[in-house]
Amino acid sequence: MRRFFVLFKKEFLQIKRNSFLPKLIIIFPIVIMMLMPLVMTMDVKNVNIAVVDLDRSTASHRIASHIEASEYLTLATVTAEFPLAMEALEQGAVDVIVQIPDNYERDMMGGPTEKISITANAVNATKGGMGMQYVVQTIARTLTELRGEKMPVEVSELVTIENRYNPTLNYRHYMIPALMIILFILVCGFLPALSIVGEKEAGTIEQINVTPVSRLTFTLGKLVPYWLIGLFVLTIAMVVAWLVYGLTPAGSVGLIYLGAALFILVISGFSLTIANFSETMQQSMFVMFFFIMLFMLMSGLLTPIDSMPLWAQRFTIILPPRYFIDILRSVYLKGTTFMDMWQNFAALGIFAVVFNTLATLTYKKQA
Amino acid sequence: MSEVVISVRELTKCFGDFTAVDRISFDVERGEIFGFLGANGAGKTTAMRMLCGLSFPTSGSGTVAGYDIMHQGEEIKRHIGYMSQRFSLYNDLTVWENIDLFAGIYGLSKSETKQRATELLERLNFASERNTLVGSLPLGWKQKLSFAIATIHRPKVVFLDEPTGGVDPMTRRQFWELIYEAADRGTTIFVTTHYMDEAEYCTRVSIMVDGQVRALDTPARLKQQFAAETMDEVFRTLARGAKRGE
C-alpha cells in the first residue's frame, strides 16, 4: 500500500512541477466547452436563394417574400430566366434555385399541376442538402397558408415536414456530450502514455525496474492520478455546460460520473498499453493519434452510427467510446436510468479490465 | 567462512547474431569491492543488467544474493541496489522526495524512512539541500545522492555502473569513501569504471575484452602476472587485442 502511495504522490508532484500541465488541465476543458459548441454546428445559415418566377402571381410573390423573411434563407435574386439563375449558381452567388412554373397559382386549385422545381448546389453537401430542406419547408408553409385561405377543408400532406425543423440550440446540446468525450480522450488518452514514455526517455523507469515494485502497483500508480484528473475535467466541463449553455443532465449526475469513471479507466489503460510498446514520444503519439481518429470518427461522436455501412456498424462494437457516448447523451438529454443501459456500463467495465490487464502484462521489468 | 554473493557460470547474452556477453564465469564474495573493467562496448553494462534482473540471459546461469537470475529476478531486486550509468533519479523531485519515493518502493516504513533519510543527509552533508530539486544539483552531488538512495534499503549487493563518470578528482575521492564505508558494513560492491586509479582500490578486478573475461585477480597479482607497473598498463595490454571498436 505504501508502495502505491509513494508512486501516486510522485506522479502528482511531477504533474504539479511541470510548467505546462496543470494549466492545460484547467484551461483545456474550459476553452473546448466554451468555444466548440458555437463552432461545431451543422445548422446552415445564409443560404442564398434565386427565385425564377415564371408565374408572377400572388402565390409566387408570397413564396418569394416568405423566403426573404426566413431566418436561414437569403433572397439573392428574383428573375424570370432560369439560365441567369443557373449562372449565379455556378459562380457561387446562389446556393438554391426555386423555379415557379407558369400558371402555377391557377393550376394549384385543380387539374394537373406543374411542380415547383428546386435546384441546389451540392458541392458543399451539408449546405446544399440542409438549404434545400429549409426551402422545401418554407414553401410548404406558404402553400398550406394559401390553400387554407382558398379551401379551408383541405390539409396539406406537407405539414409533417415542419417537425423536422431543428432549432440550433438542440444541435448544440447534442454536441456537448461528444465534446466531453473528446476531452477525456485527449487528457486521459495522451497524458499517461506521455508520462511512461517520458520516464523511458529520461531513464528513470530503469531505476524503477530494478526495484521490487510489482507491475500492478506501478501501473496503478500511473493510472489513478489520471483517473482523478479525468473526473476533475468532467466536473469543469459540466459546470461550463451549465453556466454557458444552461445544459444540465436530465438524468442522474451520479450515473454520468459512473460512466466517466469507467471510460477514463478504459482510455488510460489503452494509453498505458501503447506506451509500453513505444520507445519514443513520437512513436507513442503517432500510434495514439491513429486510434484517436478511429475513436472520434467511428464511434458516433460526430456522425450517427446508424448511417454507417453495415460492416462499419459491426466494427464499432469494439470501440469503447461508442458505449460512453450513448450513456452520456441518453443521460444528459433524455434522463435515461441505469437499468435502461446497463449493457453499456457492462461493456465499459469489460474494456476497463481488459485494457488495464494488458497494460500490466505488457509492462516489462526484465527484457 | 567466505560467503559467495554473486556466482555466474557461462553467462551469455546475444542480440540477434551479436554476442554481447560471451560465456563469462566468476564468483564474488561478501564484502568484496569487485571491479568490473573493460573498454567501451566490451559488454560490462549488459552483464550487469543481467545480474540485476533487468535483462534475461540468453544462456548460462547465475545467482545473486542466493537467487537465480533466470527465474527469480524480482527476488534479487529486493536485495540489491543499482546505480545506472545514466543519472536516473527524478530531476523534478526534491532530494527528500526522491529518498522518500525509493525508500517507500523498497518497503521501508515511514518512520524508518525518516530516520535513515535524516542520517543519510547528515552523512553526506546534504541536510541543507533536502528541499532542493535534484535537477539543479551539481553532477557530483547527484552521484552521491544516487549511491545513497541505491543503498537506502541496506542491500546485500550494490551494482555501480561507472558511478564516477564525469566528476572531478575531489568528488571521486569522496565517492570512494562512501563505497568503502558501505563495504565495511558488509555490502558487496560490484563496480564498473574507466579510471585505473579506481581499479587499484578494488579487492579484485576482472577485465572484459570482446564480451569475455580475460583476467580476474587482485590488482597486485594482475600487475605481477602482466609484468606491469600499474593497472593502466595491464588494461592496455589486454585491451590492445580487442576487435570491437569504440
d(CA A331, CA A341): 10
B97, B107, B110 ranked by CB distance to A13: nearest: B97
d(CA A75, CA A347): 51
Looking at residue A98, what is its pLDDT?
87
Q: A42-51, A165-174, B110-119, B144-153: which range is least confident on average?
A: A165-174
Interchain pair B105, A366: CB under 8 A: no
Q: Is residue A78 part of a domain?
A: yes
Q: Give the tens place of pLDDT for each residue, A26-36.
A: 999 999 999 88
Together in a domain, A234 and A203: yes
Interchain pair A17, B80: CB under 8 A: no
Say if CB A20 and CB A190 are below 8 A apart: no
d(CA B40, CA B45): 9
Torsion angles phi and psi, residue B82, rounded to 5: -145, 135
Together in a domain, A319 and A200: yes
Q: Is residue A271 part of a domain?
A: yes
Q: Is residue A367 part of a domain?
A: no
Together in a domain, A205 and A351: yes
* Number of inter-chain CB pairs under 8 A, A vs B: 83
- pLDDT bin (cut points 50, 70, 90) of residue A112 is low
Instruction: Measure A231 CA to nearest chain B CA, in Å.
Output: 25
Chain B hits for A5, CB-CB cut-off 8 Å, are 104
Q: What is the ipTM score, two decimals? A: 0.91
| CA dihedral over B220, B222, B225, B231, signed as positive or negative | negative
- pLDDT bin (cut points 50, 70, 90) of residue A119 is confident
Looking at residue A170, what is its pLDDT?
65
Cα torsion through A22, A24, A29, A32, rounded to 10? 170
Instruction: For residue B63, give the nearest of B25, B13, B19, B21 by alpha carbon.
Output: B25
Q: Is residue A111 part of a domain?
A: yes
Interchain pair A3, B54: CB under 8 A: no
Together in a domain, A95 and A240: no
Torsion angles phi and psi, residue A345, rounded to 5: -65, -40
Looking at residue A306, what is its pLDDT?
85
Q: Is B126 left (phi over 0), alpha (psi -120 to 50) or beta?
A: alpha
Looking at residue A166, what is its pLDDT?
39
Interchain pair B91, A202: CB under 8 A: yes
Chain B hits for A20, CB-CB cut-off 8 Å, are none
B74, B90, B100 ranked by CB distance to A212: nearest: B74
Interface of A with B in 180-239 (CB under 8 A): 202-204, 206-214
How many structural domains are present in chain A? 2
- pLDDT bin (cut points 50, 70, 90) of residue A153 is very low
Q: Give the tens place of pLDDT for each residue, B165-190.
A: 888 889 899 999 999 999 999 999 99
3-class secondary structure, A30: helix
Q: Best residue in B55, B101, B142, B160 to probe A by mutation, most A CBs within 10 Å? A: B101
Instruction: Measure A282 CA to nearest chain B CA, in Å.
Output: 22
A206, A211, A365 ranked by CB distance to B105: nearest: A211
CATH of the domain at A106: 3.40.1710.10
Say if CB B232 and CB B223 are below 8 A apart: no
Together in a domain, A70 and A175: no
Q: Best residue in A10, A18, A208 to probe B by mutation, most B CBs within 10 Å? A: A10
B54, B93, B106 ranked by CB distance to A206: nearest: B54
Together in a domain, A236 and A198: yes
d(CA B49, CA B37): 15
Interchain pair B90, A204: CB under 8 A: yes
Interchain pair A202, B88: CB under 8 A: yes
Looking at residue A167, what is its pLDDT?
42
d(CA B34, CA B48): 12
Q: Which residue of B has its CA nearest to A201?
A: B88
Q: Is residue A350 part of a domain?
A: yes
For A145, the domain range is: 47-158
Domain end, chosen from A128, A158, A188, is at A158
d(CA A246, CA B229): 86
Together in a domain, A22 and A131: no
Mean pLDDT of A48-57: 87
Together in a domain, A248 and A139: no
Q: Which residue of B has its CA nearest to A9?
A: B101
Domain end, chosen from A103, A135, A158, is at A158
* A245 or A124: which leads in pLDDT: A245
Interchain pair A207, B89: CB under 8 A: yes
> What is the Cα B88 distance to its own chain's centre?
14
Q: Give the tens place of pLDDT for each residue, B203-226.
A: 999 999 999 999 999 999 999 998
Q: Return the exposure string of A64-75: e unless at least 16 CB atoms fall within 10 Å of the residue's CB, then b.
A: bebbeebebbeb
Bridge-based pairing of strands B188-192 and A96-100 is: unpaired
d(CA B34, CA B219): 11
Q: Which residue of B has its CA nearest to A365?
A: B54
Terminal C-alpha separation, chain B: 42
Instruction: Measure B97 CA to nearest chain A CA, in Å.
Output: 8
C-alpha cell at B57: 540471459
Q: Which residue of B has its CA nearest to A15?
A: B92
Mean pLDDT of A238-245: 92
Chain A hits for B54, CB-CB cut-off 8 Å, are 206, 209-210, 365-367
Mean pLDDT of B57-85: 93
A10, A206, A365 ranked by CB distance to B88: nearest: A206
Chain B hits for A367, CB-CB cut-off 8 Å, are 54-56
Q: Which residue of A has its CA nearest to B152?
A: A211
Across-strand partners of B160? B83, B191
Instruction: Measure B43 CA to nearest chain A CA, in Å.
Output: 16
Q: Is residue A137 part of a domain?
A: yes
Together in a domain, A207 and A236: yes
Mean pLDDT of A29-49: 83
Residue A150 has pLDDT above 70, yes or no: no
Together in a domain, A220 and A323: yes
C-alpha distances (whole Å) from B88 to each of A200, B43, B143, B154 are 10, 21, 10, 19
Together in a domain, A138 and A200: no
Q: Give the tens place of pLDDT for each residue, B106-117.
A: 999 999 999 999
C-alpha distances (whole Å) from A103 to each of A54, A63, A154, B186 are 8, 14, 21, 111
Q: Give the tens place of pLDDT for each residue, B30-70.
A: 999 999 998 888 899 999 999 999 999 999 999 999 999 99
Looking at residue A236, what is its pLDDT?
95
Q: Is A7 exposed, middle or buried (0-12, 13-18, 19+ CB in 10 A)?
A: buried
Mean pLDDT of A134-147: 81
Q: Which residue of A has its CA nearest to B155?
A: A211
* A118 or A113: which leads in pLDDT: A118
Interchain pair A203, B54: CB under 8 A: no
In single-letter form, the type of residue at position A96 comes to: V
Torsion angles phi and psi, residue B8, rounded to 5: -130, 135
Together in a domain, A224 and A322: yes
The percent of residues above 70 in pLDDT, for chain A, comes to: 92
Domain end, chosen from A127, A158, A189, is at A158
Interchain pair B90, A367: CB under 8 A: no
Residue B11 has pLDDT above 90, yes or no: yes
Instruction: Measure B102 CA to nearest chain A CA, in Å.
Output: 8
Say if CB B65 and CB B156 are below 8 A apart: yes
B86, B92, B102 ranked by CB distance to A203: nearest: B86
Q: Give the tens place of pLDDT for each residue, A262-313.
A: 999 999 999 999 999 999 999 999 999 999 999 989 998 888 888 889 999 9
d(CA A132, CA A122): 10
Interchain pair B104, A206: CB under 8 A: no
Interchain pair A206, B133: CB under 8 A: no
Q: Which residue of B has its CA nearest to A200?
A: B88
List % helix, strand, coil for chain A (3-state, nearest 5). 70, 5, 20
Residue A114 has pLDDT above 50, yes or no: yes
Q: Give the tens place of pLDDT for each residue, A302-325.
A: 888 888 899 999 999 999 999 999
Q: Is residue A135 part of a domain?
A: yes
Q: Is residue A125 part of a domain?
A: yes
